Amino acid sequence: MLNTIRHGAPTEKPTLLIAHGLFGSARNWGVISKRLSDEREVVAVDMRNHGQSPRMATHSYPELGDDLAHVIDGRWDVLGHSMGGKAAMLLALTHPEKVGKLVVADIAPVPYQHTQTHNIDAMRAVDLSRVGSRADALGQLEGLEPGLAEFFLQSLDLKEGRWRLNLDVLEAEMAKIVGFPDIDLPPFEGDTLFLSGANSDYVRREYRDRIKELFPNARFAKLPDAGHWLHAEKPREFEAAVRTFLNM
């Protein structure tokens, strides 16, 4: 069901599946996917309601995990960032036979209190009838956090004059997106890396007990001078950390 972008060819090493975060797409991971594909096949997906994947009426983590399960042919390693990290955790917990090693980038299996609806409002406020170039749209996205406007514009289809995001459903399901389902499932016993930005507070020390309950073989690492968008801020360091873990 999900749109996929494949890099490299199958090797003796497991294929790596990459799941992006909220408002992202498989294209955002192009550079990292290509670099990691020197050793293994890498498959990046557009999550439902994002990119070229189908628009659906709901957006819950059990559904996102099942979406990923349908992409996997056999047993793959999985990397997910933020929303994609939560979906990857649900995938590992509900379909452990499909997951080898798991990398969770800057997110924990806990509910958060923040919201992203202000960013949806900012995208909705762009008058797409007056947008002939990305520079036109960028001028209408002033006031956002540094780098966010450029990130959002990667999901703007200039030719069609629309966002490649199902903003209505993402807004309606925001409580589920920032939350995490209350699950009662056996833990995922596979090797798991929680890789965080040292400047981010998304994976706090007080969350580690819950992480260890669900992922008893979890290990933790932080990238210096990186925040929540660690893969964009420190791409080479992020790639090196992921590569080292997958090859252990």
Rounded CA separation 231/213 (Å): 26
For residue 73, give the 3-state DSSP assignment: coil
Written as six digits, the tokens of 10 are 């199958």
- Quickly list DSSP for 114-171: ---HHHHHHHHTS-GGG-SSHHHHHHTSTTSPTTHHHHHHTTEETTTTEESB-HHHHH
Rounded CA separation 29/64 (Å): 18
Give me the catalytic one of 7, 59, 228, 231: 228
68, 72, 78, 80 alpha-carbon torsion, rounded to 10°: -20
Rounded CA separation 69/92 (Å): 9
Q: Which of 199, 248, 239, 198 is nearest to 220 (CA)?
A: 198
**Do residues 227 and 21 touch, judged by C-beta distance below 8 A?**
no
Written as six digits, the tokens of 181 are 């389902």
* Contacts of 121 by beta carbon, 8 Å cutoff, 6+ apart: none
Give me the catalytic one of 25, 33, 37, 82: 82
20 catalytic, yes or no?
no
* Contacts of 76 by beta carbon, 8 Å cutoff, 6+ apart: 14, 15, 16, 17, 43, 98, 99, 100
70 catalytic, yes or no?
no
Report, as residue numbers or ranges, the catalytic residues.
82, 228
